[in-house]
Amino acid sequence: MKEDLLQFIWQYKLFDHSNLLTVNKQPIHILNPGELNKDSGPDFFNSKIKIGDIILAGNVEIHVQAGDWIKHGHQNDAAYKNIILHVVYQNDSNTHAIENCEVLELKNHISHNLIKKYESLVNSKKALACTGQIGKLDSLKIQSWLNRMLIERLEKKTEYIQQQFEQCKNDYSQTFYLTLAKNFGFKTNAEPFENLARHLPLSLLLKHSDNLFQIEALLFGTAGLLDKSYKDKYLQRLQNEFEFLKNKYGLVPLNAGVWKFMRMRPANFPSVRMWQLAKLIHHSPNLFSEPQQFNSIKKLSEVLQHEPDGYWQTHYNPGGKPQQKIGAMGIQSIENILINTIAPFLFFYGKQSANEHLKQAALESFEGTDFESNVKTRYFTKEGLKFSNSGESQALINLFDNYCKNKQCLKCGIASQLLIKP
């Protein structure tokens, strides 16, 4: 028996309630097991029990062995002075006493079948401990837990945004710009793009938002991608423009070596993402001040699917060989930006401003986006479960990473249903 399992059993009253007696042979009725405390202090708050004819309300402490009370040093902790009941799996000690507190032993009141089901989950060698069982559960209960998993994943993603917000001195637009720029680098060039955004603030780019050529000069120049000799007249003009802007604003270019081009599809080259970002700033500067207006694939596609023009119609990177006409950003990349930038930022913005509508808009933004099939999500679809959008795939990724992988079944709303189920 483990203590977290005993807490779970107490929380859901998964034991035989008939003829319950304390170790002092007092009849006891559990009116309310209380609220599980996930921080320091007693395990359950606001519990309500009846011992004999007396109703008690207060805190309950759970231990596998009664002697754990002293082993854990609770007798010297003021937080444990008002315990109304000490619940144990086995009463192994009569050498200690908690003042005015009865002890309830549950060893003979817990089903062996329940313990076996728990052990089969936590000892499973499969990626999903509930393989072969999860598909039999109520789909509404699964969906309810996935909704919680999506919110939990958004909460974690907003931790990075909160850090940037504080560094940006509570400037929402600059924070959004940093988050978006990092996303434009996707996984491979995320850090260089974030550094580029720090070296080249949004306020400076917006000052030139009506001039696409100057935005390109600022982005490519500060990125260090104009720091070589070019024969092409367009690139030479960009170099001259950047030299002027660099001196005017005191810009310090990055080292061009930070950008990764190897083993990448040309459409994902950082130079391609850079001119896409330049187009976005030029055509939709209001995105940075009102990101909530672009919380759907349709609206986001309208501002991200600009066709390249001029030099960039046939070049993936400065000085590269001419190619056939290059297309606009693909729908998968746009969905990636919505999932990893727009939705988390709206959720963060909603929390900061206590605006539930924005938080709801963040959750609804996943509708209309495709479910992502990957190694983690396929564990669940192989169980016969049906999903339809990226919100569900994001929820499953969070579920697998933080619950399934570490066998945290007692904390999982899906696995707990299997244990509660008769």
Q: Is residue 120 part of a domain?
A: no
Q: Is residue 389 part of a domain?
A: yes
Same domain, 142 and 222: no
Same domain, 7 and 148: no
pLDDT class of 322 with cuts at 50, 70, 90: confident
pLDDT exceeds 90 at position 326: no
Provide the whole-model pTM. Answer: 0.87
Q: What is the mean pLDDT of the chain?
A: 93
pLDDT class of 392 with cuts at 50, 70, 90: very high
Q: Is residue 331 part of a domain?
A: yes
Residue matched to tokens 């996935």: 146
Same domain, 253 and 402: no
Phi (first) and psi of residue 152, to 5 degrees:
-65, -40
Is-contact 284 306, C-beta < 8 A? no
Q: Tell me the mean pLDDT in the region 231-256.
A: 96
Looking at the DSSP assignment, which residues form a beta bridge with residue 62? 87
Same domain, 191 and 73: no
Tally of domains in the chain: 3
Q: Is residue 279 part of a domain?
A: yes
Q: Is residue 329 part of a domain?
A: yes
Residue matched to tokens 């008690």: 56
Percent of the chain with pLDDT over 70: 99
Same domain, 306 and 392: no
SS3 85: strand
pLDDT exceeds 60 at position 95: no
The secondary structure of 236-260 as a DSSP string is: HHHHHHHHHHHHHHT--PPPGGG--
Same domain, 62 and 179: no
Q: Is residue 296 part of a domain?
A: yes
Same domain, 318 and 213: yes
Phi (first) and psi of residue 44, to 5 degrees:
-135, 135
pLDDT exceeds 80 at position 99: no
Same domain, 185 and 320: yes
pLDDT exceeds 90 at position 266: no
Residue matched to tokens 């299997």: 418
Same domain, 34 and 54: yes
* pLDDT for residue 122: 93
Q: How wide is the angle at C-alpha 416 spanned by C-alphas 159 and 18, nearest 5°?
A: 135
Same domain, 161 and 303: no
Same domain, 93 and 28: yes
Q: Is residue 236 part of a domain?
A: yes
pLDDT exceeds 90 at position 383: yes
Phi (first) and psi of residue 387, to 5 degrees:
-135, 160
Same domain, 213 and 360: yes
**Domain that residue 380 falls in:** 126-167+370-422
